[in-house]
Amino acid sequence: MQQTGNQQAWSVSPATEGDYAHWRKLYQGYADFYGKEMPESRAERVWSWIMNPEHEVHCILVRDEAGAPVGLAHYRPFARPLTATTGGFLDDLFVTPELRGSGAVDALFTRLREITAERGWSVLRWITMDDNYRARSKYDRVAQQTKWVTYDMAPSA
């Protein structure tokens, strides 16, 4: 898929084995943004999920005109029992900071919308930090904010 934004042609495609170094740098940027450690062992585990066609986690990369990845999206299906449908969940979305506002994220969202339709998902859902104002201003233009409040419960010790 090709998309042009601000005179830049973007392409979006699934991550491949040869993308690890670029993906790792992008994923580190994502982890840094949220103040999370990203040890190599964790990154390698996530990468192994992405490279395993049987695993539920998938990754698409937005690439610049030279084909270098400049942004990522990790997504997966999730069951929606109340509606008896399957939805898509966008776990991680990141674009290199200097390319924000360039149309790269629009290319990712366009492809994610296509994937949602292709897979027959009823919705694509994601969460973000309340104070992630720049991203939220984009999200408000491409999706509808819900009323749901998110909770995390730790497992029993």
- The CB-based long-range contact list for 146-149 (8 Å cut-off, 24+ gap) reads none
Q: Please report whether residue 119 resides in a domain.
A: yes
Q: Please state, in angstroms and rounded to a whole number, the distance separating the CA atoms of residues 88 and 122.
A: 8
Q: Please report whether residue 79 resides in a domain.
A: yes
Q: Please state, in angstroms and rounded to a whole number, the distance separating the CA atoms of residues 7 and 85.
A: 39
Domain range holding 58? 2-142
Asked whether the beta carbons of 124 and 88 are under 8 A apart, the reply is yes
Q: Please report whether residue 44 resides in a domain.
A: yes
Domain total of the chain:
1
Q: ∠ CA 123-58-20 to the nearest 5 degrees?
A: 145
Q: Please state, in angstroms and rounded to a whole number, the distance separating the CA atoms of residues 17 and 61.
A: 12
Q: What is the pLDDT of residues 39-58, one digit of tens each?
A: 999 999 999 999 999 999 99
Q: pLDDT band at residue 7, thresholds of 50, 70 and 90?
A: low
Q: What is the pLDDT of residues 131-150, one digit of tens each?
A: 888 999 999 999 999 999 89
- DSSP calls for 38-91: --HHHHHHHHHHHH-TTSS-EEEEEE-TTS-EEEEEEEEEEEETTTTEEEEEEE
- What is the CATH classification number for the domain harbouring 119? 3.40.630.30
